């Protein structure tokens, strides 16, 4: 029987690459998205993967959204918590709204989604949860106190629920991407981008597929002895 995978923020960028890679690996995939209906329609037309719109930062909306996914696609065996946003600003200028929105979307969403699927995984004695963090949750980043805090929090969350799920056939791991060539970097001035690349030992930006391949590895049955771990996919930058 095909296993079912849900990828949050799964219709664009890294999320799209993960969704497609899981589909190619034989999973029945559902992709969540938060707001861009046009991009979600185009994604589904390209891939055939159904897209489900709900706000992962909203606990009740997530419960309802995941219930709909399970009704349409099937019980979720694999959850990839990928959804994330930035609202950058130095601390002395950052508003509470900027702080709160990033924490809720990037960190609380991991709780909301994992809480909605964990009981089913425990009952079936199988589950794979992969949380997408960031190099900036390990090293910090100027102007990203909110983003760095949220992404750092994912590491502790992962380790705690990995301990809880280990005896039930559930593994929980984190991937910490470095700088990946996605829309999120599109606003970075070229001169700054070149400075970023100069600090990456392999001398290039990562591709979304670099992260997607790591997800496919972690959710495979053969990776059942890996849990509570952080896999750094960053081209050697900030070896942590």
Residues annotated as part of the active site: 147
Q: Per residue in 150-177, pLDDT tens?
A: 999 999 999 999 999 999 999 999 999 9
pLDDT at 189: 84
CB 9 within 8 A of CB 15: yes
Give CA–CA dist 221/214, Å, rounded. 14
- Start-to-end CA distance of the chain, whole Å, equals 38
Separation of alpha carbons 172 and 81, rounded Å: 11
Q: Which domains can be identified in the chain, with CATH numbers?
A: 4-233 (3.40.50.720)
Q: Which of 129, 139, 88, 83 is nearest to 106 (CA)?
A: 83
Pick the residue with more confidence: 194 or 51? 51
Lateral strand order in the sheet of 230-233 = 51-53, 28-33, 4-7, 78-81, 127-132, 170-177, 230-233
Token pair for residue 139? 């090293």
Q: Is 206 helix (H, G, I), strand (E, B) or coil?
A: strand
Token readout for 214 is: 């790591």
pLDDT given at position 141: 83
Q: Are 87 and 132 in contact (CB under 8 A)?
A: no
Q: What is the mean pLDDT of the chain?
A: 95
Give the whole-angstrom CA distance, residue 195 versus residue 215.
28
Q: Both tokens of residue 103?
A: 């924490």
User: Residues 105, 57: contact at Cβ < 8 Å?
Assistant: yes
DSSP 8-state class, residue 34: S
Q: What is the pLDDT of residues 78-100, one digit of tens each?
A: 999 999 998 989 999 999 999 99
- What is the CB neighbour count within 10 angstroms for residue 97? 9
In the chain, pLDDT over 90 holds for what percent of residues?
84
Structure tokens at 77: 């065996």
pLDDT at 94: 95
Q: Is residue 183 predicted with pLDDT exceeding 90? A: no
Task: Label residues 206-221 b or e (16+ Cβ within 10 Å = b).
Answer: bebebbbbbbbbbbee
Q: What is the largest CA-CA distance in the chain?
A: 53
DSSP 238: S
- Tens digits of per-residue pLDDT, 184-206? 777 778 888 898 899 999 999 99
Confidence band of 43 (pLDDT split at 50, 70, 90): very high
* Residue in 33, 41, 38, 37 with CA at minimum distance from that of residue 7: 33
CB 140 within 8 A of CB 187: no
């Amino acid at each position: 029987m095909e296993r079912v995978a849900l990828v949050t923020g799964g219709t664009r960028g890294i999320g799209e690459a993960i969704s497609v890679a899981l589909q190619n690996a034989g999973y029945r995939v559902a992709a969540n998205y938060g707001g861009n209906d046009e991009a979600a329609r185009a994604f589904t037309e390209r891939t055939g993967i159904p897209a489900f719109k709900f706000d992962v930062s909203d606990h009740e909306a997530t419960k309802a959204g995941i219930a709909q996914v399970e009704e349409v696609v099937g019980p979720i065996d694999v959850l990839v918590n990928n959804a994330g946003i930035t609202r950058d600003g130095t601390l002395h200028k950052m508003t509470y709204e900027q702080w709160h929105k990033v924490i809720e979307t990037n960190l609380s969403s991991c709780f909301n989604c994992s809480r909605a699927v964990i009981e089913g995984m425990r009952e079936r004695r199988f589950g794979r949860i992969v949380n997408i963090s960031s190099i900036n949750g390990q090293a910090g980043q100027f102007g990203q106190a909110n983003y760095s805090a949220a992404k750092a929090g994912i590491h502790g969350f992962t380790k705690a629920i990995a301990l809880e799920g280990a005896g039930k056939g559930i593994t929980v791991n984190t991937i910490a991407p470095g700088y990946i060539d996605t829309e999120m970097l599109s606003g970075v001035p070229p001169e700054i981008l070149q400075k970023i690349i100069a600090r990456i030992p392999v001398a290039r930006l990562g591709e979304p597929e670099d992260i997607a391949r790591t997800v496919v590895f972690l959710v495979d049955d053969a990776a059942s002895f890996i849990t509570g771990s952080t896999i750094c996919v960053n081209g050697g930058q900030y070896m942590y």
